[in-house]
Amino acid sequence: MAKRAEPTVETALEVIETTRLGRWGRALPPHVIRGVLAASSDGPNHLFLRLAVDDEGDDKKLARSWERAVQALVDCSQQDSWGSKTRRARTRALAKNARVLQAIQGTVAHVKEPSDDMLAVLVADGSAASIDALVPHVAKDNLELWKRLRTHAKRTPALDALFAEVEDALDDRAATSPALALGPVIGIGKVDSLWFDASISSDERAGTVARYQGRVKIDSRAAEWFEVSIVDISGMLQTTGEDWKQTQFGSATIGSDDLKLGRCDAAGVPAWLAKAASTLGITWGAPNIRTGLRGTKRDQIAKWLCGGEIPKSPALALGAEIGIGPVDEFWVDITINSRQEAGPGMPRAYVTIKIDSRTDYWFHASVSRFEDGWQHSTLGTPNDDLGLGSCERVELPAWLARAAKRLRVTWKAPKLQSDLRGAKRARILAWLAGD
């Protein structure tokens, strides 16, 4: 086992501004700690450590002070929920530690972009010194952050006044946002607030997921009120380790255009999506809409994005081919085990079939076999350990029969879960039997 290299001032300075500090830098040699504190650096963590660590005592006292300061930085970089009980308690504890609080005040006052957690500590304290450090960071383009900070804020007249100003600024921005002009364009009329986050995926797959995944975000409450992106994830599934390709732009940013799709204004999104589908040679599925609007207005957003008509899930067309007739919704979950066993209570092979018109990932069919480990073949993907080949989805029963012959097994009766009953359910079972 390789011996860990002795820490140096240079390596410590490289680690200080990263999340590795908590794991690597808690117990540095005293001479390294003193060297780090004496070094010149523009990093916010380095500034905090210089302000928080007491370097005037002996080495033992220095090490304890350093460890406490490092722990404070670790506490300011946790990933639990912003308003969780544990995060609120940790933030209040930091605010009550006089030395840590003074170091955070000094850091926030002197850096351009302090961390959200350090700002949270100062609003949790609520003192005049903390407010003096906070105020220079209030700006029109980060009002949402200040709304979030209220979660941790101590109730004081000064902070209440500050957050009231933030709320007024947010209300003014929302009332004058260009996003509101889209209401009549979309077909929902005038609204006081308009926000939605729509995800849209291609019917074409990359492995078991949609190859092209799009997003359209409109939000009258936000400074950047308009965002659009399309991502091609197929490169991530290649053995060459390629990254994804994307086209991304918004009201305030011009991002990448790896897919050569260009950009558009907010009112032109439906036409742009249609053109993108034509350029990429794909078909968009129905969008998934998250919004504060309900009922017909929510449906109208989806219709607008789709150019007037929401596409129906391919699962419904498959249902019609199977012979269950026209239905508004079709979902079925099927498991088929082999009669032969690999061990007591464990089938040698089994089949999993999922068809669901309610989701983007609407079809899955796979055969798995246990023989010196599990092997799998998934229809419509490169994953074909068992050499079963491919077929049209409606021809799935023939694919299963071919699998049984190749694997030298016979299938038991299917176990089927669905909300379909009677003749429609019987038709699915007959289809699986090859009728």
- pLDDT tens for each residue of 142-193: 888 998 999 999 999 999 999 999 988 888 878 889 999 999 999 999 998 9
Is residue 36 assigned to a domain? yes
**Least confident among 95-104, 192-201, 345-354, 389-398:** 389-398
pLDDT score at 176: 86
Chain center to CA of 64 = 39
Residue type, position 265, single letter = D
For residues 398-407, average pLDDT: 93
pLDDT score at 46: 96
pLDDT score at 383: 83
pLDDT score at 236: 63
Q: pLDDT tens across 110-137, in order?
A: 999 999 999 999 999 999 999 999 999 9
- Given a cut of 70, whether residue 373 has pLDDT beyond it is yes
| Max avg pLDDT among 176-190, 232-246, 252-266 | 176-190
Residue type, position 313, single letter = S
Domain match, 297 and 331 both: no
Q: Give the start-end residues of each E strand in 322-372.
A: 331-337, 341-343, 346-347, 349-356, 363-370
pLDDT score at 300: 95
Domain match, 123 and 247 both: no
Domain match, 278 and 415 both: no
Distance CA 7, CA 335 (A): 57
pLDDT score at 208: 66
- Given a cut of 50, whether residue 2 has pLDDT beyond it is no
pLDDT band for position 237 (cuts 50, 70, 90)? low
Domain match, 193 and 147 both: no
Q: Which domain covers residue 289, as residue numbers?
A: 180-305
Last residue of a domain, one of 173, 192, 209: 173
Is residue 70 assigned to a domain? yes
Is residue 3 assigned to a domain? no
For residues 431-435, average pLDDT: 89
Q: What tokens were used for 197?
A: 């986050």
Domain match, 330 and 392 both: yes
Is residue 1 assigned to a domain? no
Residue type, position 111, single letter = V
Domain match, 67 and 23 both: yes
Last residue of a domain, one of 158, 173, 188: 173
Report the number of distinct structural domains present in the chain: 3
Domain match, 105 and 137 both: yes
Domain match, 290 and 369 both: no
pLDDT band for position 138 (cuts 50, 70, 90)? confident
pLDDT score at 174: 80
Give the torsion through C-alpha atoms of 28, 32, 34, 39, to 10 deg. Answer: -120
Please give the mean pLDDT across all residues of the chain: 91
Domain match, 298 and 358 both: no
Is residue 310 assigned to a domain? no
For residues 16-30, average pLDDT: 91
Domain match, 31 and 151 both: yes
Is residue 4 assigned to a domain? no
Give the torsion through C-alpha atoms of 17, 19, 23, 26, to 10 deg. Answer: 30
**Least confident among 196-210, 240-254, 267-281, 338-352:** 240-254
Domain match, 197 and 330 both: no
What is the rounded end-to-end Cα distance, in angstroms, of the chain? 64
Distance CA 382, CA 237 (A): 10
Q: What percent of the chain has pLDDT over 90?
A: 70
For residues 249-275, average pLDDT: 91
Is residue 212 assigned to a domain? yes
The pTM of this model reads 0.62
Q: pLDDT tens across 314-339, in order?
A: 899 999 999 998 888 999 999 999 99
Last residue of a domain, one of 119, 152, 173: 173
Domain match, 298 and 322 both: no
Is residue 363 assigned to a domain? yes
Residues ≥6 apart with Cβ < 8 Å to 377: 366, 367, 383, 384, 385, 386, 387, 388, 403
Chain center to CA of 419 = 31
Q: What percent of the chain has pLDDT over 70?
A: 97
